[in-house]
Amino acid sequence: MGDRAKQLLFLAATIGVAILAALPLGLSAYGVSTGIVYFANVALATAWALFSGPTRYISLATAAFVGVGMYTVAFAHVSLNLAVCLALAAIVGFLFALVVGLSTLRLRGVYFVIFTFGLTELMRQVSSWYEINITHKLNRFITISIDSIVIYEMLLVLAVVAVVGSWYVSTTRLGHALRAIGEDETVARHTGIDVTWVKVLVFAIAASMMSLVGGVYALRYPSIDPTVGFGNAWSFQVLIAALLGGPRRPWGPAIGAILLVLLSDFLVGAFSRYFTIALGICFLVIVYFIPGGLAPRIEQLFGMLARARRAAGGASGAAAPREPSKDAAKADIETGAKMRAVPHRRSALHPLMRRLTRSGPRLVVRHGAGPPPGAMLSVHGLRKAFGGLVAVRDLSFDIPAGGITGLIGPNGSGKTTVLHLITGELPPDAGSIVLQGDEIIGVRSFEICRARIARTFQLVRVLPGATTRENVMLGRMFGSDPTDPATALTEADALLDRVGLADRAQLIGSQLTYIDQKRVELARALATRPQLLLLDEWLAGLNPTELKIGIDLIRRIQREGITVLMVEHVMEAIRALCGHVVVMNAGMKIAEGTAAEVLSDPKVTQVYLGEDDAAA
């Protein structure tokens, strides 16, 4: 979409909101109450998708947060004024979600869904118990009388805030972090993202919005009871609305919510007795035919229209397209479009900034006058057991600063476990790991990344739904020297150029070949600006010609001042690159020295090389 189209869209949206705001003056009471239902659903579905859309943690706790808001207002309005009550609802919802989030966001997949469902049930039971046994009245009266037009306007504001807010979040670092968490939490952690904090914070922000909507909504009723406040219908309606509209677009859930309310109204009128059956059938049809939601389809349609118009314009020689059409638009409607907003925004808004922030060809950070002397990292007495299997046993070695150290050994000898221990992915049972004088055992993965240790994974972990460019931007946005998305974008492109992926910046991770995925991982690791780079079989699966290129690349990385530890089975690379080699077998170090020394060691030949390679 061009700048002009964007301005028009913005204008149209503003006028639309203004009309909606003025509308109640001419509407019947029925019209106003319909508007209230629409806006509440838009705000709730958008808030739900703010967290659950990108992270893919499906929450059924919407009703719990709505209910908390309603009950906060119901309790507080007796003694406090309305504005304070509503602020209180938002705060209570936020704090409640903070507690819930801290205790549950470790849960994944179906367990999280069940927990949130259970939370709503629990809240309903507890509130019923309280009202029956303590106050002896199930209904709690709301004694404020407030014009429904005011409720209408308040909910309109909340809906607009929710949509604009979640659009804004999606363009920030926080938005990138949320998507990374949804794609692969492990990668997110190792890229420097404080996964727990991001999840809990956004979960609580979304909950706070839900409670606020609940608080306002409660003003419609003369009284509330636990089934109104904590009714599961809230949770399911919101979920369905978001899925219908497209949970991974900021404006998708809003569209879904509007359509859902429309559809329900229509079905109630047309099939009053069989309403729920008809609604159910509609959902099945929707989920079957548009699994990603409507928003990506609509974007695709607009993209096609824009391209058709450009093609027509180009034919008549009128306007050349400002930006060459990007293939990614069509490539993957589910995920492909989501990143386009950022590059476009950037090229539209910051031509000057881009020039100012462009770095030179050398992107990897230098440490002043060269690598510091001595050991970059010292491992001492390291031990890790999985049940009865001791994967790493009393392991000690140093990684000399500025050099390339090789870690070799048979499959299953514990090499990858050592990398997991260094990066905080696994806690060791005993021993110490010292990074330039600082003990790093017990330090969490994201902090280790920020302490400038980066890694790649043996089984390649590129975020499958993110573009090549976004994968690399993540490293720059959350690594040891975090930047804003715009700077990260420029530098990501330069890094991609360096590993030979410049022409594939817009492809989705899952569309890349194996070797390209490995390149993306390396670029992402370099983007975090490491002083120590851990490579886990990065050269595996290359043919001899590609291997030479790979070896050259690693050597250049080292020459720029980055210390490298490489786990590798390709002896050619070990011989060519490593000044220092550690050999492991069954969790223990069996040899250490220069490549020539260890590769001629009979122990190493016997357990690792076999007879063929010993001669070579």
Partner 1 sequence: MLRLEHISVAYGKHEALHDVTVDIAPSRTTAILGANGAGKSTLLKTVAGLIRPLPGGRILFDDRPIEQEAPHRVVAAGIALVPEGRRLFGEMSVMDNLRVGAYPERARAGESERLERQLTLFPRLGERRQQLAKTMSGGEQQMLAIARALMSEPKILLLDEPSLGLSPRLVSDLFSILRRLIEGGQSIVLVEQNAYQSLKLADHIYVLDNGRIASAGTPAEMRQDKMIQKAYLGL
Q: Least distance in Å: CB of 614 to partner 1?
A: 9
Q: Least distance in Å: CB of 412 to partner 1?
A: 3
230 in Cβ contact with 63 (< 8 Å): yes
How far apart CA 171 and CA 451 sit, in angstroms, is: 26
DSSP, collapsed to helix, strand or coil, labels residue 392 as: strand
Identity of the residue, 40 or 573, whose beta carbon is nearer to partner 1 in the bound complex: 573
Q: Least distance in Å: CB of 485 to partner 1?
A: 26
Q: Least distance in Å: CB of 586 to partner 1?
A: 11
How far apart CA 506 and CA 320 sit, in angstroms, is: 21
411 in Cβ contact with 607 (< 8 Å): no
Residue ranges that bind partner 1, judged by CB under 8 A: 327, 330-332, 408-412, 458-459, 511, 513-516, 537, 540-548, 569, 571, 607-613
Q: Least distance in Å: CB of 606 to partner 1?
A: 9
How far apart CA 49 and CA 238 sit, in angstroms, is: 9
Give whole-number Cα distances, 420 to 190, 410, 444, 460, 469, in Å: 10, 17, 11, 15, 26
232 in Cβ contact with 63 (< 8 Å): yes
DSSP code per residue over 512-565: S-HHHHHHHHHHHHHHT--SEEEEESTTTT--HHHHHHHHHHHHHHHHTT-EEE
Q: Least distance in Å: CB of 81 to partner 1?
A: 58
Identity of the residue, 383 or 548, whose beta carbon is nearer to partner 1 in the bound complex: 548
Identity of the residue, 88 or 496, whose beta carbon is nearer to partner 1 in the bound complex: 496
Identity of the residue, 277 or 596, whose beta carbon is nearer to partner 1 in the bound complex: 596
Identity of the residue, 102 or 614, whose beta carbon is nearer to partner 1 in the bound complex: 614
Q: Least distance in Å: CB of 392 to partner 1?
A: 14
DSSP, collapsed to helix, strand or coil, labels residue 319 as: coil
Identity of the residue, 305 or 389, whose beta carbon is nearer to partner 1 in the bound complex: 389
How far apart CA 614 and CA 616 sit, in angstroms, is: 6
CA 297 to chain centre: 22
Element (H, E) at 594: none
Identity of the residue, 291 or 442, whose beta carbon is nearer to partner 1 in the bound complex: 291
Q: Least distance in Å: CB of 605 to partner 1?
A: 9
Q: Least distance in Å: CB of 345 to partner 1?
A: 25
Q: Which are the contacts of 388, defined by CB distance < 8 A and separation ≥ 6?
A: none
Identity of the residue, 102 or 540, whose beta carbon is nearer to partner 1 in the bound complex: 540
In the block, residue with structure tokens 């994968």: 471
424 in Cβ contact with 186 (< 8 Å): no
Quick one: tokens of 121?
A: 């049930």
Give whole-number Cα distances, 489 to 55, 191, 205, 493, 506, in Å: 22, 16, 27, 6, 12
Q: Least distance in Å: CB of 612 to partner 1?
A: 5
How far apart CA 153 and CA 21 sit, in angstroms, is: 6
Identity of the residue, 357 or 458, whose beta carbon is nearer to partner 1 in the bound complex: 458
Identity of the residue, 327 or 597, whose beta carbon is nearer to partner 1 in the bound complex: 327
Q: Least distance in Å: CB of 460 to partner 1?
A: 9
190 in Cβ contact with 64 (< 8 Å): no
Identity of the residue, 1 or 540, whose beta carbon is nearer to partner 1 in the bound complex: 540
